[in-house]
Homo-oligomer: A and B are copies of this chain.
């Protein structure tokens, strides 16, 4: 996943270790506070200087208390944010007035510990809906977080672990690049392996950089990258009440250099693809390219429809070369598919031509599907727009994991 070098339009990005912790001026901690039985469940991120903050949050109409409280804080002081608190194991969603009070109390405590204002704190939660936060444990844990804050990869890894729910591995990504003779970094951590669907900020991701810019510029860059990464992945088509992406940067001049946008995009792609690879019960990933589309919207809609189909996902799990399910899912998107012009490629080989002619035998296609990372290209044959979406298979383990999430 982590390309060591990405060279694009003369911008050289270098993958660096440490994720969010690779960004100068940031300190992190992740501890076990007791919200969960055994694992780390509370992360604190603190910035040495005030940051502009951009956000892309869930479009679900039922929003968790921390999402709403953070929106308030960003409205009040989004040009000068200083910290982020995130717990796992409890979503603090559908928790009524108590949920609102608890989210505010968490921000107040973090502010007191860091000697900043409560409105300078972003709060986030992830876990089971409808259960109140165990505030006594969270508060003791937050004190320990504040005492352990430090820069670098170890604390970044701890924080990435502390925001995990059903994730099997922590998700970190960071890239450096040179601009104006100075080295800069964009880094992030993320969680998400179930309740991941297209068309929203689909999980938690926290990203930072040391490149100064305006809040509006950061917001525009973030939305553009989210649209190509987190909004193009699917594990199960479910949308969460809590999901949010927050990006932080030092306040500065209007426009960041182009290299920043490239690095941010690569961090978002890395984190998004890591989520899909770690999809609940996933044994395979599907990279779904849609090319030759009338426009980008058509390409995006078709790519997302295919990765969202349960029948495509189960066929993938079974290594069953059932291309008909992909086409049925594409047609069900109802964005103007021409039944006679499409062709399908599997791992770069022509699979089906012009709507009907099977070019790979069932045995050949089956062998291709035995790979761990499957790449399918659906050429619509009507234009030159394209889009890519990423998904995973639907396995018996997805059902096992989700049939008893609480226990």
- Neighbouring B residues of A178 by C-beta, 8 Å: none
In the complex, whether A252 has a CB less than 8 A from a CB of chain B is no
In the complex, whether A216 has a CB less than 8 A from a CB of chain B is no
Tell me which of A93, A95, A320, A399 has the highest count of chain B C-beta atoms within 10 A of its own C-beta: A399
Majority DSSP secondary structure for residues of A touching B: loop
Q: Are B61 and A336 in contact (CB under 8 A)?
A: yes
Copies in the complex: 2
- Neighbouring B residues of A399 by C-beta, 8 Å: 314, 317, 394-396, 398-399
Q: Are A398 and B352 in contact (CB under 8 A)?
A: no
- Neighbouring B residues of A403 by C-beta, 8 Å: 314-315, 317-318, 320
Q: Are B61 and A314 in contact (CB under 8 A)?
A: no
In the complex, whether A63 has a CB less than 8 A from a CB of chain B is yes
Query: How many Å lie between the Cα of A228 and that of B399 in the bound state?
Result: 29
- Neighbouring B residues of A61 by C-beta, 8 Å: 331-334, 336-337, 339
> Which residues from chain A sit less than 8 Å from chain B, CB to CB?
59-63, 91, 93-99, 128-130, 194-195, 197, 236-241, 308-311, 314-315, 317-318, 320, 322-325, 327-334, 336-337, 339, 352, 354-358, 362, 394-396, 398-400, 402-407
The contact sample of 17 A-B pairs, CB cut-off 8 A, is: A60-B332, A61-B332, A61-B339, A62-B327, A94-B324, A94-B352, A128-B322, A129-B324, A130-B323, A237-B308, A239-B328, A239-B329, A239-B332, A310-B310, A320-B406, A362-B406, A395-B399
